[in-house]
Amino acid sequence: MGLNKADRIKKMRVPEVDKSLEGRLPPGQVLTERFPILHEGEVPVYDMEKWTLSAEGLVGKEVEFCFEDIMKMPQTKVVRDIHCVTRWSRFDNTFEGVLFKDFLKAIDVDPAARFVMVHGDYDYTTNVPLEDLLRDDVLLAHSFEGKPLTDKHGYPLRLVVPHLYFWKSAKWIRKFEFLAEDQPGFWEQNDFHMYGDPFKEERFSGEGFEMPEDEWKKKDFD
């Protein structure tokens, strides 16, 4: 997938949302029951003895967690709809893991921190306001539909931010970087919106762009 993804997908026909799904299916989205796989680059392979998740930036002390540390934190299940900027939405996804707000209890965050740069392998970044990560349904997820995440969907740990377009839900997360000011992550540097509210169709940073209906249908599924 080229970096001109935004340009390519701005041009095509926009689907109409079925009237019966209005209110639940965001504008310009298509419902799917499959779970498309979308990412840049290679699927990471881990030696879990060496895997760590760290917190850096505006923190009193940098910390590093191993996978066991994460599994010892309070575990929560959330069932949420997800919405990808390439126009697919999937209802009632069950993710399980640690709420970001519970994870944060183990981190001494500087009060000046207002944004988080989420880092995932390999070299994926996406920016989210800290306030958004503190919501009751934002999860560091290790499981999907009762099973560990598959490699392609982010094993061992991914972020799930259900109220924003799914590119904010970084897979293979390795680091949270706490920031005072908002900075663009990978897709945000390539024309995608800094915030990404699906119900406001905040797909791109410019005005009036369109996203083709079938971009995601070319992808893998499982």
The residues of the shown chain that bind Mo ion, judged by CB under 5 A, are: 38, 84, 167
User: Among ligand MTE, Mo ion, none, what does residue 198 contact (CB within 5–8 Å per kind)?
Assistant: none
Q: Identify the bridge partners of residue 31 per DSSP, sorted by sequence position.
A: 89
- Please identify, using beta-carbon distances, which residue of 37 and 194 lies nearer to ligand MTE: 37
Coil vs helix vs strand at 19: helix
User: Among ligand MTE, Mo ion, none, what does residue 91 contact (CB within 5–8 Å per kind)?
Assistant: none
Give the pairing of strands 158-160 and 220-221: unpaired
Torsions phi, psi for 73 (to 5 deg): -75, 160
- Please identify, using beta-carbon distances, which residue of 39 and 203 lies nearer to ligand MTE: 39
CB of 56 to Mo ion, least distance (A): 25
CB of 39 to ligand MTE, least distance (A): 3
Binding-site ranges for ligand MTE (CB under 6 A): 35-40, 84, 120-121, 124, 153-154, 166-167, 169-172
Torsions phi, psi for 157 (to 5 deg): -150, 130
Residue number of the CB closest to ligand MTE reads 120
CB of 84 to Mo ion, least distance (A): 5
Q: Identify the bridge partners of residue 89 per DSSP, sorted by sequence position.
A: 31, 83
- Please identify, using beta-carbon distances, which residue of 37 and 66 lies nearer to ligand MTE: 37
8 Å CB contact between 217 and 149: no
How far apart are alpha carbons 106 and 18 in whole angstroms? 44
Torsions phi, psi for 221 (to 5 deg): -135, 160
CB of 144 to ligand MTE, least distance (A): 8
- Please identify, using beta-carbon distances, which residue of 104 and 168 lies nearer to ligand MTE: 168
Q: Residue 169: CB partners within 8 Å, gap ≥ 6?
A: 82, 158, 159, 160, 161, 162
CB of 108 to ligand MTE, least distance (A): 26
